[in-house]
Amino acid sequence: MSFSTRDLQMDWLRSFVAVIDAGSLSRAAGEVHRSQSAVSMQLKKLEAALGHRLVERDTRTLELTTEGQKLLGYARRILDLQAEAHIALSGEELRGVVRLGVPDDYAAKYLTPVLKRFAPRHSGVEIVLSCEQSTSLIPRVASGDLDLALVSRDHARRGTLLFHEPMVWIGSEEFALWRRDPLPIAMYEESSLARRSALNALALQGRKHRLVYNSSSLAGQIAAVESGLAVAVLTQCSVPPHLQILGSQHGLGPLEPMQVAVYRSKGSRGSKAVDSLYSLLVNTLRLADSA
């Protein structure tokens, strides 16, 4: 089917991107302020205009087709250009500084895609990034030293919940340390939620263990496993491909997932730059693991 550029209406593209970012029609409807049926209709019109099915979906899952994957990049660029043009012509360009914190675990997988969308739209905003453990970042938000932080939540009623990140045991096939008794383990600092999860899991199993390595950094945990010192517990998104995820077949039980949330300081209320980045974080990452 032939089409012209005027067939690709902005509302259709906006709904398409919202559906992919939100992971469902119902959540996308809230983002574009339309009913679920209206979003579904706009997606169908876009598919009809292009002559290709863009999304395969059922009651639980939603996946891009090959054509949908090709279109997504173009759609984001078109919407970003529209936003840039609006800002340039309206005189509403955002300016200021946003002090943002994130642990190493979440930086590449979750924060980088958000910043890649934010930067072209708001080139007048300076991002000052701090990479530390969640247990260090949360007090900095509370004190006002940071405006925002993407962290593992330390309390069920704090921050805005975005999604659940699985925790996994990792080891090296070269050393097979999971066969040892007691189990040699590497741990983060004492206040770490990952450390608490690992020790709780071992206690429930009655598995003997000994702490042989302490490091507050992700790189340090990975180094301990690579060198054959210990097994460790990491967020699934941060596991290097050359290391092995361990499970029940290795005598290691399940771990509680991390509740990933965005925290915001009280002092940042009223900052349009912080408002914009906060909204993008929430709208892009919120409840990504639910239907």
pTM, rounded to two decimals: 0.71
3-state secondary structure 146-212: CCEEEEECCCCCCCEEEEEECEEEEECCCCCHHHCCCEEEEECCCCCHHHHHHHHHHHHHCCCEEEE
Assigned fold of 96-163+259-285 = D-Maltodextrin-Binding Protein; domain 2 (3.40.190)
| Distance, CA of 24 to CA of 20 (rounded, Å) | 7
* Contact yes or no for 252/203 (Cβ under 8 A): no
Domain ranges across the chain:
5-90, 96-163+259-285, 167-256
Looking at the domain covering 5-90, what would its CATH class be? mainly alpha
CATH of 167-256 among 3.40.190.10, 3.40.50.300, 3.20.10.10, 3.30.450.20: 3.40.190.10
User: Three-class SS of residue 261?
Assistant: strand
pLDDT at 30: 74
pLDDT at 290: 38
15-72 pLDDT, tens per residue? Answer: 998 888 777 888 788 778 889 999 999 999 999 999 999 999 876 678 899 999 999 8
| Distance, CA of 7 to CA of 53 (rounded, Å) | 16
Q: How many CB atoms within 10 Å of residue 145?
A: 14
pLDDT at 60: 67
Alpha helices, H only, the chain: 10-22, 25-32, 36-50, 66-90, 104-106, 112-121, 134-143, 193-205, 218-226, 272-285
pLDDT in tens, the chain (291 residues): 455 445 789 999 989 988 887 778 887 887 788 899 999 999 999 999 999 999 998 766 788 999 999 998 888 888 877 877 776 676 667 889 999 999 999 999 999 989 988 887 788 899 999 999 999 999 999 999 999 999 999 887 788 889 999 999 999 999 999 999 999 999 998 889 999 999 999 999 999 999 999 999 999 999 999 999 999 999 999 999 999 999 999 999 999 999 999 999 999 988 989 998 998 898 788 754 433
Token couple for 149: 């932080």
AA letter at 246: L
Q: Do 96-163+259-285 and 167-256 agree at the fold level?
A: yes
Token couple for 287: 């409840």
Query: Cis omega (within 30 of 0) on the bond before 184?
Result: no
